[in-house]
């Protein structure tokens, strides 16, 4: 499944004091990303989340910086040079798995096998392949 949305990393949760209680929430950028990704997945997949043991492969395609030489741009597009800069891959994974809870799978605790990759692309997106293991 190809989801045409630019990947956003999971940021540290923010805290707010309400009287004697402290509430935690996602920063607005992360919250918006999760909402949009969830809606994209619902439109493509429907409302029938998987409930078994799952294998998931996720490919994150980041935008290419505009201030690069043509040679370096071509290297990045060909996959010869992959993203080794922040944000970290695990932060992309966390925000994406959280957003897809209840849509592609009942809970991300069902995922027993996970493969994730970062690439550069002129069209930022997330590609997700989910397989139910028997």
The per-residue DSSP string of 66-117 comes to: SS--HHHHHHHHHTSS---SSSPHHHHHHHHHHHHBTTTBS-GGGEEEEEEE
Confidence grade of residue 121 (pLDDT, cut at 50, 70, 90): very high
In the three-class reduction of DSSP (H, G, I as helix; E, B as strand; rest coil), residue 49 is classed as: coil
Mean pLDDT, rounded, for 59-63: 97
In the three-class reduction of DSSP (H, G, I as helix; E, B as strand; rest coil), residue 102 is classed as: coil
- Give the global pTM: 0.89
Mean pLDDT, rounded, for 76-94: 94
Whole-number Å distance between alpha carbons of 120 and 131:
25
Confidence grade of residue 16 (pLDDT, cut at 50, 70, 90): confident
């Amino acid at each position: 499944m190809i989801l045409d949305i630019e990947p956003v990393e999971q940021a540290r949760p923010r805290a707010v004091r309400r009287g004697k209680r402290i509430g935690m929430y996602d920063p607005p950028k992360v919250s918006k990303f999760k909402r949009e990704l969830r809606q994209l997945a619902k439109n493509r997949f429907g409302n029938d989340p998987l409930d078994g043991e799952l294998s998931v492969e996720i490919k994150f395609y980041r935008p290419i910086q505009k201030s690069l030489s043509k040679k370096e741009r071509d290297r990045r597009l060909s996959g010869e040079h992959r993203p080794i800069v922040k944000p970290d891959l695990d932060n992309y994974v966390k925000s994406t798995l959280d957003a897809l809870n209840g849509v592609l799978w009942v809970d991300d605790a069902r995922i027993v096998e996970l493969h994730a990759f970062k690439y550069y692309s002129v069209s930022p997106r997330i590609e997700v392949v989910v397989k139910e293991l028997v």
